[in-house]
Chain A
C-alpha cells in the first residue's frame, strides 16, 4: 500500500473515531448512507445484489463476498475489503467498527427490493474477514 493510501485510510479512521468520541454509539446511525451515493453513480443498478457483488470484486473493492439470506436477515462475509484498515483501526482499540460502506450499499439494495431501511447489527471482524448481518424490516414479527 502506498504511503498516500495509508494516509487516506488513517484520515478516514481518525475522522470516524473522533465522531464516535463525540457522539458515542449513536454515531453509527448517522453513517448508514455513507458511500451509497458513490455506488449509485458508479454501479447504476443496485437492485441486483449478485451484479453488485461482481462489480465490487471486478473493481478491486473486495476480494470475495459470501452472501447468506434467511427470513429475517441478510449476512455478508467480506474478505479482502479495501476498507479493512479502517475496520482494524477500531478493532485494535477493542471497539466495534462504526460503519461499513459495503454494508450500506447492500442495505440500500435491500431497500430497492422492498425492505424498509434495514438495520446493521454489530460488525464482526476476524482474520481479515468481516461478517455483517443486516436485519430485514418487512414486518416487525421477528420475535
Chain B
C-alpha cells in the first residue's frame, strides 16, 4: 500500500519534524537497533569476509540470472510446485486473484512480503472482493490503521505502544487506554489465531530461493508464515527474480548475515524451508520482474538487486531516523528504497536520491556490500540529465558554475557575498534563506585567505 502524495521527501520530513519529541523517540529506537547490529556483527571475527562472500555470491547470481531462474523453475516443478511468471505488478496481482478464485475462497492470510506492497496487492484484491489479513504483527497494526508500513522489517516502528492500544481498542474491542506490550501482543495473537484457522489460502514472501533444490526459505520471527502456510490448502509465494541463490550451502552465508544486520539477532526465530506440497495441498510460486530486469541493465545500479531486505541501511541512516519511513512515499523507504524507486518511476521518485547527505554509513552496514551512497550520487546525475531537477536549482547551478570556473568572477562574488553579510545581514538573515531559519550565518571576516596571502606571502 503506497501513499499517494504530491509532497516530496523534504516537505514530508519537515512535517515529521514538527513534533521533535517524536523524532527523538524514533531516532533513538532505531539507533538502539543499529547498536544491537554492531554488537552482533563484532562477535563474528570474519564478519567482513562474510559480507564479501555474500556480495560475490549475489554478483554471480545477477550475472547468471537467466540460468539460475530456469534451473530453479525446473527443480521446483519437479518437486510439485507450480511456477508462474509475472512481468509486472499487474500480472502478479492477476495471478494471485486467479489462484484464490480457483480455490473458491474470498479471504486470505498473508505474511510479510514487501513485493506485494510494491505491487499494491491488498488494494487490488480488496477491489475484487477478496479480504486479505496481514499476519505479521507490525503489518497487522498498520493495516488496521490504514497506513502503509514505514519500515521493511519493523512495519509499525513509527507507532508508540499507546497508539497501538488505541488501534486495538477501536478495531479489536479491547478497553481504551491499554499500552502493556504483553497484553497487546496477546490480543493480536488471539485475533490472528482465529484468522489462521479459517483461511484456506495463504500468501508468503520469499527470502531465498535455492536454484539447486527448487526450495525456498521464508524467515520470520513470529512463525506467522508457517502458521498461515501450514493451515491453508493453497500456499502462494511471491518472489522477485533476484531472490535466487545458487546452492543450499550458500544459505549458511546469508542466514548468518540477514538477522544480525536486521535486528542483531543471530538468526530469525523461524527460517522455514518449503520444498514440496503436502498430500492434497498446493504450492504456487510467482516469480516477478516488475522493473528488475531494467535495473539489471543499468550498469551503475544493477547491484542494488543484491539487496536481501535486512533494513540495516534504514536503521543506520541519520536521515531516515529523523524523517520517518513515510517521508519516502514508496513501499521500500530509506537509502535502499531511494536507489530502487527511481528505476520504477524517475519523475515520481526524483526527490529520493537527494534525501541523503551521502555520509556512506548505509554502504558500510550493507551485508551484501551494495555501494548505496555512491548509487545515490549517480542517480542524482541521471535524474538531472533526464530533466527532473527543479528549475530554480538549475539556474542557480549554472550561475555557480560560471562563477567557480572563473577566478576573477569568483573573487568578486566572494567579496560581494561577505560585504552583504557584513553590512546588510537582513538581506540573508531572513525567512527566505533556509540556512537562517534555525542557524546563524558565519561571521564574515575582514579579508579572504587569498587576499591575506597576497599581502603576506607573495613578493
The answer to whether A and B belong to the same complex is no
Name A residues whose Cβ lies closer than 8 Å to a Cβ of B.
Answer: none
